[in-house]
Structure 1
Amino acid sequence: MLGAIIGDIVGSRFEAGPPPQPGFKLFTPECCFTDDTVCTVAIADAILKHRDYAESLVDWCRRYNNRGFGGLFYQWFMGNDHTPYGSYGNGSAMRVSSVGWLFNDIDTVMEEARRSAAVSHSHEEGIKGAQCTATLIYWLRTVRVTKERLKHSVEQKFGYEIPSLKDVMRIGSLGHFDGTCQETVPAAIRCFLESDSFEDAIRKAVLADGDTDTKAAIAGSIAEAYYEVPDEIVNSAFEYLPHDMLDVVNEFCDCVIGGMK
């Protein structure tokens, strides 16, 4: 969950801004938390407090409704009808990371990822993106596997074709905004696979341009389960969060590792 929040904040200033350049500063005054963090916190809060996923999403998203939400999702949480609307956008994958940490068998991880997505993103691709992201996190935190084996397992289980890093960067350089699960999740996975640290995974995802905050949120959520996240990066990200979000993050950390990272 921390990886998703960090990736979101770091990538936030590039989504509608100038293309990122190598060596960019991770945190600047232009950074902020976006809808990705709001939804990530909402899913974690639902699990920790045994709330309905839709109820928690509506609560948190209405609380922070000016954080760059997509139009259909905004209508979903601001309106009175919370029927799933068949989305396959990458929002289901960027918000799911806590599922991979807070459940301790793969069948439950898959089912809870499905449930967390299906309240809004009920298209099979929206559900698959969430399940793949949560499963990767679960695998990486419970079983040490090689990255090549991980790539093979993802392709076999979920049917994704993981693009090369060159292709990920090329597509982003063309100005393509990759807002679907079927584009963003494989690209984020490749950024993780080619990384040598948590920070490097975030940087590669941001440099791929396009939907920078969400791509970095997904890559960061996966990388968190594999690499140590430096305290200085965590502390810098926390400076952007309001107290109610920090309360949820703290409770999450207490549940997962017995204290704040």
Structure 2
Amino acid sequence: MIGAVIGDIAGSVYEFSNKKPLLKNIISSECFFTDDSILSIAVADALIYMKKNGFKNSASIYRLYLLEYARKYKDAGYGKRFHAWFNSKNPQAYNSYGNGSAMRTGAVGYAFDTLEKTLSEAAEAASVTHNHPDGIAGAEAVAGSIFLARSGSSKETIKEFIEKEIGYPIKFNLKELHKNYKFEIACKNTVPQAVFAFLISDSFEDAIKKAVYIGGDTDTLACITGAIAEAFYKKIPKELIRQAEDKIGKTLFATVKEFQQLFDWEI
């Protein structure tokens, strides 16, 4: 869970930049949290509520918490359609296939005991806004990868899940991505690259560095990569966690901690 936040913060300053550095320091003084962290924590908070009160009408609960967090943190950098959604008097799903569904769904991957349930809940969390099949598939890809990673699956198994179950081919070259990859918002053009950054990494920190090195929508790419890498490596330097807490503040960090404790995931 905190891995998604760290990734978002690390990529924040490069999102609309042509710079694709190989980071020395994952979180610098210029970094900040974005909508990716806010909405990831919103989904986590919704899961906290349902863990305590029962997993019923989950789509309506995800919707409630996404609206609450977005309206509270209005200037976190949301896309135009999502911004219009949470400012509407009667918010309705808008058939999006954008990567916003994927980046916010990380917590779902930690919350359930089976892959089947994980995927169905990822679809519920996505569909309140991103009810296009590609938007739902992106969310399922991220949550499913996290479930497999935390359950002890190999990278090859995760790659096979992404390619065969989701339908995203993972056939990239890091140098070519660094040279040619541009800003993309579609799940199908963001999630595979984020998974690739994880697959070729050798640690949590290395995964984040490779995601930023690929470029594009760097906060979202690194947010997704960080969420999966945390689940797989199960180790994040305490200094990075402390830096992330400093960036998001005590209130949001407390929600992250409560989620990790409630769902038995401590780093």
Q: TM-score, normalised by structure 1?
A: 0.94
CA separation in 2, counterparts of 1:171 and 1:256?
Answer: 40
Deviations 1:33-85 (A, max 9, x none): 00000000100001101271111000001111101100000000111121100
The verdict on how the C-alpha distance between 1:203 and 1:119 changes in structure 2, with shifts beyond 3 A counting, is same
Q: Please tell me whether the aligned partners of residues 46 and 65 of structure 2 are also in contact (alpha carbons under 8 angstroms).
A: yes
Q: Please tell me whether the aligned partners of residues 42 and 65 of structure 2 are also in contact (alpha carbons under 8 angstroms).
A: yes
Q: Which residue is equivalent to 1:36? A: 36
CA separation in 1, counterparts of 2:232 and 2:8?
Answer: 18
CA separation in 1, counterparts of 2:189 and 2:15?
Answer: 16
Q: Which residue is equivalent to 1:164? A: 172
Q: Please tell me whether the aligned partners of residues 89 and 180 of structure 1 are also in contact (alpha carbons under 8 angstroms).
A: yes
Q: Please tell me whether the aligned partners of residues 163 and 187 of structure 1 are also in contact (alpha carbons under 8 angstroms).
A: no
Q: Which residue is equivalent to 1:234? A: 241
Out of 139, 147, 153, the residue aligned to residue 144 of structure 1 is 153
Deviation at residue 18 of structure 1 after TM alignment: 5.1
Length, aligned pairs only: 256
Q: Please tell me whether the aligned partners of residues 89 and 126 of structure 1 are also in contact (alpha carbons under 8 angstroms).
A: yes
Structure 1 residue ranges without an equivalent (≥5) = none
CA separation in 2, counterparts of 1:81 and 1:171?
Answer: 41
Deviation at residue 150 of structure 1 after TM alignment: 2.4
Q: Please tell me whether the aligned partners of residues 165 and 194 of structure 1 are also in contact (alpha carbons under 8 angstroms).
A: no
Deviation at residue 164 of structure 1 after TM alignment: 1.0
Deviation at residue 258 of structure 1 after TM alignment: 6.6
Structure 2 residue ranges without an equivalent (≥5) = 51-59
* Corresponding position: 1:59 with 2:68: yes
Match of 1:239, SS state, is: helix
Equivalent residue runs for 1:103-114 within 5 Å: 103-114=112-123
CA separation in 2, counterparts of 1:114 and 1:22?
Answer: 34
Deviation at residue 136 of structure 1 after TM alignment: 0.6
Moved segments of 4+, more than 3 Å: none
CA separation in 1, counterparts of 2:18 and 2:27?
Answer: 15
Q: Please tell me whether the aligned partners of residues 20 and 178 of structure 2 are also in contact (alpha carbons under 8 angstroms).
A: no
CA separation in 1, counterparts of 2:261 and 2:108?
Answer: 15
Q: Which residue is equivalent to 1:130? A: 139
CA separation in 1, counterparts of 2:29 and 2:23?
Answer: 17
Deviations 1:210-231 (A, max 9, x none): 1000000000111011111121
The residue type paired with residue 55 of structure 1 is L
CA separation in 2, counterparts of 1:92 and 1:258?
Answer: 23
The residue type paired with residue 154 of structure 1 is I
* Corresponding position: 1:202 with 2:208: yes
Match of 1:131, SS state, is: helix
CA separation in 1, counterparts of 2:48 and 2:63?
Answer: 14
Match of 2:232, SS state, is: coil
Q: Which residue is equivalent to 1:8? A: 8
CA separation in 2, counterparts of 1:216 and 1:163?
Answer: 19
CA separation in 2, counterparts of 1:258 and 1:90?
Answer: 25
CA separation in 2, counterparts of 1:244 and 1:129?
Answer: 29
% same residue: 39
CA separation in 2, counterparts of 1:213 and 1:246?
Answer: 18
CA separation in 2, counterparts of 1:235 and 1:247?
Answer: 12
CA separation in 2, counterparts of 1:165 and 1:25?
Answer: 24
RMSD of the alignment, in Å? 1.5
* Corresponding position: 1:250 with 2:257: yes
Q: Which residue is equivalent to 1:190? A: 196
Q: Which residue is equivalent to 1:48? A: 48
Q: Please tell me whether the aligned partners of residues 119 and 144 of structure 2 are also in contact (alpha carbons under 8 angstroms).
A: yes
Deviation at residue 199 of structure 1 after TM alignment: 0.4
Q: Please tell me whether the aligned partners of residues 34 and 76 of structure 2 are also in contact (alpha carbons under 8 angstroms).
A: yes
Deviations 1:135-191 (A, max 9, x none): 01001111332x22321232111111113133432332xxx2111100110000110
CA separation in 1, counterparts of 2:133 and 2:18?
Answer: 33
CA separation in 1, counterparts of 2:161 and 2:40?
Answer: 25
CA separation in 1, counterparts of 2:249 and 2:103?
Answer: 20
